[in-house]
Structure 1
Amino acid sequence: MSLLLAASLLLRALAIPLLARVAWIDFSTQKIANRDVLLLLCLGLGSLQLLSLQSGSWWDMGLSAIAGLILFIALFPFWTMRKVGAGDVKLMAAMPFVIGGSNLAVFSVLLLIFAVITAVAVKNPFLLPAGMFRVYIQHLDRKGVVPFGVPISAAAICTIAVQIAYGLNAFGQP
């Protein structure tokens, strides 16, 4: 494993606790801080730059930039209609940089799975075991909000975990 790949994987690994923090804060307060999104963006850009230097190709960084811009433009009208929060829009726009453009398909499938699970939990709180958690979910359902940062973060964490596992597997190869 090259030093650049190891440093890139380290930056992505550092994003995991930050994503967990974003998920927890969004779940508990329905807010995503700009500083968290900016820090995730910086970690992602650093990781992508290291990978680009190693491979000699800037394709993944360009693909991430295009995907981030498209996601921001596509989700912005939903923010103006108050269907999603501004933090969710910014977090989604930063995700292609955090996970890399070449892993967007894996991220998208995982995001779909986690979003469906979140929607089912919010719409059917009686399926949940703990009483307090059930009351909180019913409160979210009455307010009409869904903490979308939770499935975004969960999908990103799983995608990063796959990338790290793949990168460590490459470490054992000559």
Structure 2
Amino acid sequence: MKMIVGLGNPGDEYAHTRHNAGFDTVDLIAEEYRANYWKSECGALTAKVKIDGEEVLLAKPQSYMNTSGGPVKQLCAAYKLTPNDIVVIHDELDIDPGTIRVKFGGGLAGHNGLKSIADKLQTKDWARVRVGIGRPPGRMPVVDWVLSVPKKEAWDDFVQGAQRAAEAAPFLLKNGLEKTQQKFN
């Protein structure tokens, strides 16, 4: 089994904010692969889907971004998954809106959700689909930027990024890192 984890914050006040790009992407994957039942387990909302005949666990940690590692670790233990079995989808400030980048391991770019996962799994080595949200304009604090819902054209870019990420994550499971990077990066 493999697991696709979308990072975000639970609750209506965070719905469709830039920081919830991972949640929005997992929701698109769930829709595409007809997830018909979400359940609460291990501190996350989960659903099982079949992607190219293989069972895949979709997960949205419900512990808030900065403590996402706890639910990810619990799900890995419950389903006997290793870091090599997971794909984490998250927002990325250093990538232009509407674009994505796929990578394995590497730095955490100050992202608290990734820091939490790295801390709990004791490694930075897992696959990542990074959804570009760009940097805030002017002197706007980063926290205000990531916790805001994109407006107008920025919304179109945000949706495009989530849609590309929703295509890339299943493609990655089937075709591996190199082919996925060639197609999506």
TM score, norm. by length of structure 2: 0.30
Larger fraction in strand: 2
Answer 1 or 2: higher relative contact order, Cα 8 Å, separation at least 6: 1
TM score, norm. by length of structure 1: 0.31
Larger fraction in helix: 1
